[in-house]
Amino acid sequence: MFDSEFERGLFDLRRAKLTEIEKLGQAAYPNQFPASHTVHDVRATWGETTSEELEANRVTVAVAGRIMAIRAQGKAGFATLQQGGERLQIYVRQDAVGEQGFALYKLLDLGDHIGVSGYLFRTRTGELTVHVERLTFLAKAMLSLPEKYHGLADVELRYRQRYVDLFTNLDSREVFVKRAKVLRALRQFFDERGYLEVETPMMQQVAGGAAARPFRTHHNALDMDLFLRIAPELYLKRLVVGGLDRVYEINRNFRNEGISTQHNPEFTMLEFYQAYANYHDLMQLTEELIEFVARAVNGTAKTEFNGHTIDLAHWQRLTMREAIRQFWPEEAGAKPAPTAFDSAQVFQARLHAAIASLEKVAGETTRIAPERLAELKTVRDAVAGVYYDSMKGAPVGKSVYNLFEAVVEPFLIQPTIIYDYPVEVSPLSKAKPDDPAHVERFEFFAGGFELGNAFSELNDPVEQHKRFEQQLGERDRGDDEAHQMDEDYVRALAYGLPPTGGEGIGVDRLTMLLTGSKSIRDVILFPLMRKQQESENRDQGTGTN
């Protein structure tokens, strides 16, 4: 519990103070405090009331809070109480609270919880303040608080000791208040449209619905290995087979992959399915949904993210091919012709020329701004990777997708829907009726990253079985992210899944966008951290003396 002798010593001092507090007739750990108002109530109700009005009609309140600042002045003193993320000043003077009350005030420390009752007034500088008549001790902070001006700045400590972060950095608290608003708005949106909220298994015998490595666990009584789910997709579609035409689920997914500013091993996913809808319907719904959530959370569709103002009320829609042509960097030479995506040979030649052109530009260090140059070098390396994969025999659709990720995705700052994906990268999507090389699928982006993925669902059980078998082949070749066979899911499809559109949205990322958070860890209360080394202080202590 203690990180140092300083903390141990402080703890002992505070315990002594608790004893003193008890001697004053107060409980060290009382069970409740009957507050008449929250701090928010007080500020909302009397925040604008003038000093004269407060004197003419005396208002008495009882409020509780944590002491975040304390300023003693001889036989009087101030303190700042914080409760519910808001602050209210109190004024304690000996002639108002009596000797016992003032003795208690002097035993208070930063971080303590107290309750006060008294009347409202304004100080000389105009600040709304409680003139305390009775002071009630509620709980003691036995450890010292972070520096009061800067708060807790150490990013690691903010994640590991979120409980301190939350009450010292109110900005951090605000992010999680907004996160709750995101969830509420999502539910409201779908509830109003007749979707049923459901909960499907988090522990699954077959971890399906996405390409990712799962976490493994074990049920003892049944002696059965289980996986934490990587997606709810296959269960939600079973429900549509069962006649729940519109369903949604907001819950955690678990993927045994790397950690980054955009990835946490457990993350929150919204998935929804709508019978009789296709991907065009979902595009429309998505644009409405994101704008609705933004307005519900921030009161505006505009959000500041990473130095950009993003307008979530205005979307553009591009096919993947159009997007590649539109975002093609001029430094990479001529844009690929619309037909260049159809043949592996033509496509490879185009890539080869682009690399050569980028290579040449990379040498001209004097003509180009350093930032743009770094960007172009990243693009060059990525294009080279795409070219290399393509030469090794990657299907052309896969290469087109990889190229898209290299030259387009990082630059999709304003909200954009990219649609018509190559079939090779979309094993659960339905092909376009007039173009079997492409599927009815879209992803949408903002702030430079992917927010969601949607498609018209494959509902042919024979085709689905075939695709699972192909995935098994990939698995045998060593791809441990390939889908597993799910016979029961194929059986469900065999009962008949109506034409259905489905979509998944990363709730953490949406929250990042709406709160201006650059790291996913800033929107997850307790992000996964590496195990800390055992502190020597905590376990030794008898080794030497």
Place of tokens 């997007």: 323
Specify the residue, 275 or 312, whose C-beta has the smaller distance to RNA: 312
Backbone phi, psi, residue 189, to 5°: -60, -45
Q: Which residues 27-86 are close enough to bind RNA by CB under 7 A?
A: 69-76, 78, 80
Dist. CA 213–CA 233, nearest whole Å: 16
Segment contacting RNA (CB under 7 A): 22-30, 286-294, 297-305, 516-524? 516-524
Tell me, letter by letter, the H, E, C secondary structure of 39-96. Answer: HHHHHHHHCCCCHHHHHHCCCEEEEEEEEEEEEEECCEEEEEEEECCEEEEEEEEHHH
Per CB under 7 A, the list member of 211, 354, 512, 513 interacting with RNA is 211
Specify the residue, 244 or 525, whose C-beta has the smaller distance to RNA: 525
Q: How many CA atoms lie within 13 A of 300 on its CB side?
A: 7
337 neighbors 322 (Cβ within 8 angstroms): no
Specify the residue, 7 or 281, whose C-beta has the smaller distance to RNA: 7
Specify the residue, 60 or 73, whose C-beta has the smaller distance to RNA: 73
Q: Which residues contact 457 (CB under 8 A, 6 or more apart)?
A: 237, 273, 428, 429, 430, 497, 499, 500, 501, 502
Per CB under 7 A, the list member of 6, 29, 163, 388 interacting with RNA is 6
Beta 308-311 vs 128-139: how paired, if at all? unpaired
Q: Which residues 259-288 are close enough to bind RNA by CB under 7 A?
A: 259-265, 267
Q: Which residues contact 495 (CB under 8 A, 6 or more apart)?
A: 241
Segment contacting RNA (CB under 7 A): 153-161, 173-181, 277-285, 339-347? 153-161
Is 147 a binding residue for RNA by CB under 7 A? The answer is yes
Specify the residue, 223 or 536, whose C-beta has the smaller distance to RNA: 536
Report the side by side order of strands in the sheet with 203-204: 203-204, 224-228, 216-219
Backbone phi, psi, residue 190, to 5°: -80, -35
Is 484 a binding residue for RNA by CB under 7 A? The answer is no
Is 427 a binding residue for RNA by CB under 7 A? The answer is no
Q: Which residues 307-366 are close enough to bind RNA by CB under 7 A?
A: none
Q: Which residues 89-118 are close enough to bind RNA by CB under 7 A?
A: 89, 91, 93-95, 109-110
Total interface residues for RNA by CB under 7 A? 84
Specify the residue, 146 or 501, whose C-beta has the smaller distance to RNA: 146
Per CB under 7 A, the list member of 287, 420, 457, 508 interacting with RNA is 508
Specify the residue, 32 or 125, whose C-beta has the smaller distance to RNA: 125
Is 153 a binding residue for RNA by CB under 7 A? The answer is yes
Query: What is the closest distance, in whole angstroms, from the C-beta atom of residue 377 to RNA in the complex?
Result: 10
Segment contacting RNA (CB under 7 A): 4-12, 58-66, 284-292, 433-441? 4-12
Query: What is the closest distance, in whole angstroms, from the C-beta atom of residue 28 to RNA in the complex?
Result: 16
CA-CA distances (angstroms) from residue 375 to 261, 309, 321, 332, 404?
A: 19, 21, 21, 12, 15
Secondary structure (3-state) at 230: coil
Segment contacting RNA (CB under 7 A): 144-152, 309-317, 365-373, 429-437? 144-152
Dist. CA 273–CA 189, nearest whole Å: 14
Segment contacting RNA (CB under 7 A): 145-153, 232-240, 292-300, 482-490? 145-153
Q: Which residues 369-408 are close enough to bind RNA by CB under 7 A?
A: 378, 382
